[in-house]
Amino acid sequence: MKILHAADLHIDSPLWGLSQYEGAPVDEIRGATRRAAVRLVDAALTYEVSLVVIAGDVFDGDWRDFSTGLFWIGQLNRLRDAGIPVVMISGNHDAASEITRNLTLPDNATMLSAEAPQTIDFPNLGLAVVGQSYSERATVDDLAAGYPPASAGVCTIGVLHTSLSGRPGHGNYAPTSIDVLRSKGYAYWALGHVHQREIVSRDPWIVFPGNPQGRHAKEVGEKGATLVTITDGEVVDVTAIPLDAVRWASLEIDLSEIVEMQDVVTVVRGHFAQLRRENPDRLCAVRIRVCGRTQVHDELWRQPGRIEAEIRAIANEFDDLWVEKVVLATQRMRDAGGAQDDDAVRELLERIADLANEPQALDSYAAALRGLRDQIATTVRGDEGAPIDLSHLGSPEHLKACLADSKDMIMALLDEGQ
Ligand SMILES: [Mn+2]
């Protein structure tokens, strides 16, 4: 018997950092969470599973309109047609308090209670599934502690949306411990909430399947669900099944060996070809960091937008490749240019060096960033998994990095005039 365990579908979540430029596959990226959900059902049908278990956050938040709910009901109906039951719980993103619109579920699907732990028996499968939904977003009680112990001789699956004892980047919801989970005598704990796949324990099995579709540049690599094989009431195999429609990747492109701009194109093309080889059959979304102490540094910094446009132009040569962002982080050659021999320039450099060592003087520039930070804070969610760490804006480290960047740009522009 096989069971498919998924979590954190976040259907219709806007993928972060969706920038539009000529040739960008915008529609494909926008529909990624739905396509991953379709693939989840495809996998359930392909592997002829007996049950699908979903451990919370099917939705990203309240539906904008009924199309989100209708889409999901359509997928549940595909499972209904195949006679496959679905047991779900809600998580912090789709807790009852967060969702104002609702649709009646087909009769093969059950959303477990948010009032108390609920058990669904599948006597024909020799299985029981226990779980509890979130009634509110910020659920801070140890829900698992209230789950009933397994009945003797019944293979029991616990479904729980939790951060366990805490996971970086994830809200600390329904915290609990491995000991509490172990004490229940269940065969398998189907967890959700943490977007990174993780096998927490093998005895009993405690598994985060991760989300089926990464939502931003920090949720990199293969994403999917977990296929669980049960024989004679025991879990005998646990396998990751990739489902992501868009795969996020992070590329570091070192230009240390580069002498001329046209060589940059060759290097980037090589990286892209490798990325395509390693991730066939799906769209790749890539964040690029261009780094290294390089002779082309000044040329890059004189026209900061150019390298990004060059890289995107190369991406367009490849099928299914989208550049989310280009971060320029190269360094100057130590002996570059002659501008620093000029008295005025030397004074400027001294002033920059002084500023770097005067936290208070530097902090006066933070005021300019505070307004920007507040403005972003009203439009961008800073909750779990958000790609932008707003606290960083205007921090001493951030100001120091800005200062270093300014120096690079100034020197590049001055040396051009030499
Ligand atoms: Mn969650």
Q: Based on the domain organization, do 327 and 181 belong to the same domain?
A: no
pLDDT value of position 385 = 46
Cα of 7 to ligand 1 centre, how many Å?
A: 9
Count other C-beta atoms under 10 Å from residue 230's C-beta. 21
Residue 10 Cα to ligand 1 middle (Å): 9
> In sequence order, what are the residues at sequence separation of 6 or more whose Cβ sits closer than 8 angstroms to the Cβ of residue 194?
163, 164, 167, 170, 208, 210
249 plus 391 within the same structural domain: no
Looking at the structure, do residues 53 and 136 belong to the same domain, yes or no?
A: yes
Q: What CA–CA distance (Å, rounded) separates 160 from 190?
A: 6
Same-domain check for residues 134 and 272: no
Q: What is the pLDDT of residue 179?
A: 96
**Residue 126 region, left (φ>0) first, then alpha (ψ -120 to 50), else beta?**
left
Q: Clarify whether residues 197 and 57 are in a common domain.
A: yes
Same domain, 380 and 281: no
Which residue, 336, 370, 393, sits at the end of a domain? Answer: 336
On whether the CB atoms of residues 399 and 367 are closer than 8 A, the answer is no
Check residue 383 and give its pLDDT.
47
Residue entry with tokens 């959700």: 192
Tokens of 243: 């489902």
Q: Is 87 found in the same domain as 6?
A: yes
Ligand 1 centroid to Cα of residue 338, in Å, is 55
219/195 Cα distance (integer angstroms): 8
Residues 310 and 369 in one domain: no
- Tokens 């004074």 correspond to 347
> 17: domain CATH number?
3.60.21.10
* Final residue before a domain boundary, out of 336, 365, 388: 336
Q: How far is the CA of 204 from the centre of ligand 1 (A)?
A: 23
Q: Using CB atoms within 10 Å of the CB of residue 396, give its burial: 0 to 12 exposed, 13 to 18 middle, 19+ buried.
A: exposed
Q: How far does residue 316's CA lie from ligand 1's centre (Å)?
A: 35
Write down how long the chain is: 418
Q: Are residues 110 and 64 in the same domain?
A: yes
- Distance in Å, CA 34 to ligand 1 centroid: 18
Last residue of a domain, one of 283, 318, 336: 336
Is 262 in the same domain as 369? Answer: no
Range(s) of the domain holding residue 397: 338-418
Q: How far is the CA of 366 from the centre of ligand 1 (A)?
A: 33
CA 270 to chain centre: 26
pLDDT on residue 376: 72
> Rounded to two decimals, what is the model's pTM?
0.85
My answer on whether 347 and 313 are in the same domain is no
- Cross-sheet strand order for the sheet of 283-293: 246-254, 283-293, 321-331
End-to-end CA distance of the chain: 74
Ligand 1 centroid to 193 CA: how many Å? 4
User: Residue 229 phi/psi, 5° resolution?
Assistant: -105, 130
Residues of the chain short of pLDDT 70, as ranges, are: 16-23, 335-338, 340, 377-389, 416-418
Using the mean position of ligand 1's atoms as its centre, give its distance from the Cα of residue 169 in Å.
Answer: 11
Same domain assignment for residues 198 and 346: no
Q: Tell me how many domains the chain contains.
A: 3
Can you tell me the distance from the alpha carbon of 19 to that of 288, in angstroms, rounded to the nearest whole number?
14
Structure confidence at residue 222 (pLDDT): 96
